[in-house]
Amino acid sequence: MRKMNLIPMLKPDSVAIIGASRDPDKVGHVILQNYINAGYSGRLYAVNKKADGDIMGVKTFVSVADIKDKIDLAVIAVPAQFVPKVLEECGKAGVRTAVVVSGGFAEIGNTQLQDEMVSIAEKYAMPTLGPNCLGVMDPRSRIDTLFLPTYKLSRPRVGGVSFVCQSGAVGSTVLDLISGEGFGLSKFISYGNAAHVDEVDILNYLMDDEETKVVIMYIEGIKRGKEFIEIAKKITKKKPVVVLKAGRTAAGTAAAHSHTAALAGSYEAHEALFRQYGFTIAEDLGDLLNYAKILSSETFPKGNRTMIITNGGGTGVLVADAIGSSGILAMAQLGQKQSIYLRKSMPPLVNIRNPLDLAGDADDKRYETALATITSDDNVDMIIVIALFQTPGADSRVAAKLVNFKDRTDKPMIVLSIGAEYTQMHRIMMESAGLPVYDSPSAAVRSLAELLKYANYRNRA
C-alpha cells in the first residue's frame, strides 16, 4: 500500500494561498481571511498574478515560484482550467502538498483535466487533495482551507474526533453541528473527487495520528477496494470508525456520480464490508454525531447489562422498550446488597427495580445516592440516566452531580434529557464536561448498542 505523507498538509510550517484576492466575494479571499482569523502561526503567503504588495497584510507574489521559502502546503483556488499550470508551478517550486478547492473536473464530465492534474501530482510526488472539495481544517495547527466564512459556519473546538468527508455540503453542515456538541474536532478532511489523495490514504494517516481518537466518515464511493479492506482490517483494531455511506439506491448512486464522480457501487456490498471489519454504520447524520459522541468518551463496556435511572416513569418505560428492541442490550438486575441499601435510603414511593424511578421530586442528593450504589454494582455494565429538568428537584446541581459520577466510574454512562431552553442549558453544561447527552430514547439506546458492538469487535480482534 502506498503511504502518502499528509503531515505537511495538516501540520504545515508554511502555506501559500494561490488565488488569494482582495475581493471579499472571492473564494481565495475567504480562505486567506480564515487563516488570519484562526491565528495561524506559520509563514503565510498570498499568490495572485494581478496583485502586488500585500492582501490583508499578507505579502503577495505573482507566482509560487517567486517565493523563496519552502512551501509545505499550497491551497489552490483558481478556475479549473488554470489548475494544471498552477500545480506544475508548485511541483517545480518544491511544494510538498496541495489542496485544490476548485470545481469543474470529473464531477461535470471533465475527466481529461482531472487526469492531467493527477499526472502532475504523481510526477512531483506531491500529495494533492481534491479537486472539488473544502480541503482541510486542524484546530490545533490552526489551518483552515474552508472557503466558508466563520460568521456563517462555526468552527468546532479542539477534540479527538476526525471527520473525513467526500461532500463539502455535508461536511460544512456537520462541522456546524459538531461545534454545538460535547466532543471537539481533531481534523476535518474534505477530499471531493478523490483524484489523487483518497479515503484509503486519509485513513492510513489517521490510523497512526495520536490526536485522533475516533474517525467519522461520509463517503459516496470507494476507489481502491482491496487497499480499503487492508486499511479497514488495521484501523478498527486501534480506534473506532463511524461511516455514513451515501448512494443506497439507484437514484442516490446517480446523484453521487454527478456530485463527486464517485462510483458508489452496491450498498449491500459496502455494508457487509463495513460490518466485517468493525466499522460502526450510521444511517443518517444524526447517527454520525450520536455515535461519535459516545465513542469519543473512550469508555467501553464489559457486558450488555444496562441500568436505567430516571425521574420520569414514562420516559424510563420508553428507554426500557428501546433496550428490549435493540437485539443486543439487556436490562440489568440489581444486586441484592444494592437493592437493600437503596430501599433503606430512598423514599417509599421509589420502586427499587430497573428502571429505578426516583420520582418527580428527585434532587441531586437522590441522584447521588442512586449513582453511588449502582456504579458499585457488578451486575451493571452500563447506565442510562434520565434527567428531566422540568421537574421541581432537577437543576444545575443534578447536572453537576452527573458530571462528577461520569469521572468516577469506569462504566459507560450517558444521559437522556429532553426539553427546550432550560434543558438545553444543562445539556451544554454536561456535554462540555464530556458526558454524552441525548434527546430521544431511541438515539440514546442505539448509541449505547453501537458502543457495545464496537467493544465486542475489538475484544475479538
Strands 128-129 and 97-100, bridge-based pairing: parallel
- The pLDDT value recorded for residue 253 is 54
* Correct CATH for 153-296 of 3.40.1350.10, 3.30.1360.10, 1.10.260.30, 3.40.50.261: 3.40.50.261
Helix (H, G, I), strand (E, B) or coil at 287: helix
Per-position pLDDT tens, the chain of length 461: 788 999 999 999 999 999 999 999 999 999 999 999 999 999 999 999 987 789 999 999 999 999 999 999 999 999 999 999 999 999 999 999 999 999 999 999 999 999 999 999 999 999 999 999 999 999 999 999 999 888 888 899 999 999 999 999 999 999 999 988 878 999 999 999 999 999 999 999 999 999 999 999 999 989 899 999 999 999 999 999 999 999 775 554 555 544 455 444 678 889 999 999 999 999 999 999 999 999 998 899 999 999 999 999 999 999 999 999 999 999 999 999 999 999 999 999 999 999 999 999 999 999 999 999 999 999 999 999 999 999 999 999 999 999 999 989 999 999 999 999 999 999 999 998 999 999 999 999 999 999 999 999 999 87
Task: Please give the DSSP secondary-structure letter assigned to residue 193.
Answer: T
Are residues 309 and 386 in contact, defined by beta-carbon separation less than 8 angstroms? yes
Helix (H, G, I), strand (E, B) or coil at 5: coil
Assess whether the previous peptide bond of 8 is cis (omega < 30° from 0). no
Domain 305-460 in the same topology as domain 1-129: yes
**DSSP per-residue codes, 10-46:** HS-SEEEEET--S-TTSHHHHHHHHHHHHT--SEEEE
Fold of 1-129: Rossmann fold (3.40.50)
Residues 6+ apart with CB under 8 A from 160: 183, 184, 186, 211, 212, 213, 214, 296, 298
Hey, where are the domains in the chain?
A: 1-129, 153-296, 305-460
Spell 54-67 as b/e; 16+ CB within 10 A means b: ebeeeebbeebeeb
User: In terms of DSSP H, where are the helices of 393-437?
Assistant: 396-408, 421-432
- Note the pTM of the prediction, 2 decimals: 0.91
Q: Give the whole-angstrom CA distance, residue 264 versus residue 35.
A: 34
Are residues 28 and 21 in contact, defined by beta-carbon separation less than 8 angstroms? yes
Q: φ, ψ for residue 316 (rounded to 5)? A: -60, -40
Q: Give me the residues paired with residue 219 across strands.
A: 245
Q: By C-alpha distance, which of 19, 26, 195, 5 is closest to 113? A: 195
**End-to-end Cα separation, the chain, in angstroms:** 22
User: In terms of DSSP H, where are the helices of 191-312?
Assistant: 199-207, 225-238, 250-260, 267-276, 285-295
What is the enclosing helix (H) or strand (E) of 414? strand 413-416
* Correct CATH for 305-460 of 3.60.20.10, 3.40.190.10, 3.40.50.261, 1.10.238.10: 3.40.50.261
